[in-house]
Amino acid sequence: MKYSYNVTLKNILLLFLCVLSFLFSCKTKTEDNENEKTKYIIPDSLAKKLEIDTVIKSQFINAATFTGKVAFNDEHVVKIYPMISGNVQDVKVMLGDYVQAGQTLAVIKSSEMAGYSNDLVNAETNLRVAKKNSDATQDMFNSGLASQKDLISAEAAYEQAKSELSRINRVLKINGGNTSGEFVVKAPISGFIVEKFITNNTSIRADNSNNLFTISDLANVWILANVYESNISLVHAGDNADVTTLSYPGKVFHGKIDKIMNVLDPTNKVMKVRVVLPNPAYELKPEMFANITVTNKENKEMLCVPSSAIIFDHSENYVLVYNNNADVRITPVKVLNTVNNKTFIETGVNAGDKIIASQAILIYDALNN
């Protein structure tokens, strides 16, 4: 009886263990099935739109970004100063107007110009008198009524009268050539009126150091960038420079570093570098704020991926390494530099790896969830 009881108890225990084993096995299979079900697979509709790129080795491009501003090209700027004293009678242009070379900018009534006109009349009269006197003396000399000395004096007076008239004409030409007592201010070059310091009825003096107008040909402008001491080694004459502005977001103006000012501003501790940019559409205006990205190629190769493939999250950079739609791996990478649409990577991937270069953030979130 005791033996039968023991056998029954053992059978019950064995049965209980079998049930537990079965239940645990079922649970494990269920979890495995759930894991398989929750594994992310890129949908075919999304896969058709994906850009799959390859990690390659490319010549390393070093880049640094600086702040600066648009400035006049000083080689194409003319400041117009008063040549005479007088009163401004007629200002014909406004600030910002485009003018052609030789165009009248203003008219100034001037007693000095009236004096030059009077000098011209006197010089012309003296020349006529000297000419008649020289001719008469020549006739008298031929008739024996005048000496050679008299002839030489008459001819010398005639030459002096011609010289004086030539001088007066040159003075008038320098001062506009007007003989009606007016000084006409004309544009020496074509360009924009970027400074204007006179209005109608303004009194001006020739010894005044202030200019009347400033004309600049904005077909070319300078970009002056501020380079801090720690970045001086990154800039060189001839380096490519990409310029962006607040006024034209997304638009890049391409130029080169033309000159490096090899001194530091004692106040700001920055060195100025100059970029010359063509400006045919006059989009860049002096005093505009600008960002300048300077790039130069180094003699070494680094791993390179499209910038669109980089995902920044939790203070780290990642890429999505692609094998197939069901096998995408989130991989942390160490970024060295980003230049336009190229990002150079030091570690994390190998040359030849396939990476997802579009919709990367969307797939990254799906993998994490």
Across-strand partners of 195? 214
Q: Check pLDDT > 70 for residue 281.
A: yes
Can you say how many angstroms the Cα of residue 12 is from the centroid of all Cα atoms in its chain?
89
Q: Pick from 67, 135, 53: which is nearest to 291 by CA?
A: 67
- Residue 227 within a domain: yes
Q: Which of 297, 330, 345 is the last residue of a domain?
A: 297
User: Is the pTM of the predicted complex or chain greater than 0.75?
Assistant: no
Mean pLDDT, range 35-63, rounded to an integer = 81
Q: Pick from 359, 356, 357, 303: which is nearest to 333 by CA?
A: 303
Query: What is the C-alpha to C-alpha distance for residues 199 and 182, in angstroms, rounded to an integer?
Result: 16
Q: What does the pLDDT read at residue 6?
A: 52
Q: How confident is the model at residue 3 (pLDDT cuts 50, 70, 90)?
A: very low
Query: What is the C-alpha to C-alpha distance for residues 241 and 263, in angstroms, rounded to an integer?
Result: 20
Looking at the structure, do residues 290 and 327 belong to the same domain, yes or no?
Answer: no
Q: What does the pLDDT read at residue 49?
A: 86
User: What one-character DSSP code corresponds to residue 229?
Assistant: G
Q: How confident is the model at residue 30 (pLDDT cuts 50, 70, 90)?
A: very low
Q: What is the pLDDT of residues 245-263, one digit of tens each?
A: 999 988 999 999 999 998 9
Q: Which helix (H) or strand (E) holds 168?
A: helix 148-174
Looking at the structure, do residues 190 and 81 belong to the same domain, yes or no?
Answer: yes
Question: 254: burial class by Cβ within 10 Å (0-12, 13-18, 19+)?
Answer: exposed
- Residue 31 within a domain: no
Looking at the structure, do residues 292 and 307 belong to the same domain, yes or no?
Answer: no
Q: How confident is the model at residue 75 (pLDDT cuts 50, 70, 90)?
A: confident
- Residue 34 within a domain: no
For residue 82, the SS3 value is coil
Q: What is the dihedral of CA 12, 17, 23, 26, to 10 degrees?
A: -130
Q: What is the pLDDT of residues 82-110, one digit of tens each?
A: 888 889 988 999 998 999 999 999 998 88
- Residue 36 within a domain: no
Across-strand partners of 273? 225, 260
In order, the DSSP letters of 95-113 are TT-EE-TT-EEEEEE-HHH
Average pLDDT over all residues of the chain: 85
Q: Which of 252, 278, 297 is the last residue of a domain?
A: 297
Report the CATH number that the domain containing residue 360 is assigned in CATH.
Answer: 2.40.420.20
Q: What angle do CA 45, 340, 237 make, to 5 degrees?
A: 170
Number of domains in the chain: 3
Report the CATH number that the domain containing residue 82 is assigned in CATH.
Answer: 2.40.50.100
For residue 296, the SS3 value is strand
In order, the DSSP letters of 228-273 are EGGGGGG--TT-EEEEEESSSTT--EEEEEEEEEEEE-TTT-EEEE
Are the C-beta atoms of residues 318 and 330 closer than 8 Å to each other?
yes
Report the CATH number that the domain containing residue 240 is assigned in CATH.
Answer: 2.40.30.170
Q: What is the pLDDT of residues 296-331, one digit of tens each?
A: 777 788 899 999 999 999 889 999 999 998 889 999
Looking at the structure, do residues 274 and 305 belong to the same domain, yes or no?
Answer: no
Q: Which of 150, 183, 215 is the last residue of a domain?
A: 215
User: What one-character DSSP code corresponds to residue 231?
Assistant: G
Domain hosting residue 339, numbered range? 47-60+300-368
Looking at the structure, do residues 88 and 191 belong to the same domain, yes or no?
Answer: yes
- Residue 20 within a domain: no
Looking at the structure, do residues 83 and 167 belong to the same domain, yes or no?
Answer: yes
- Residue 238 within a domain: yes
Q: Pick from 123, 127, 121: which is nearest to 179 by CA?
A: 121
Query: What is the C-alpha to C-alpha distance for residues 241 and 45, in angstroms, rounded to an integer?
Result: 41
Looking at the structure, do residues 210 and 118 belong to the same domain, yes or no?
Answer: yes
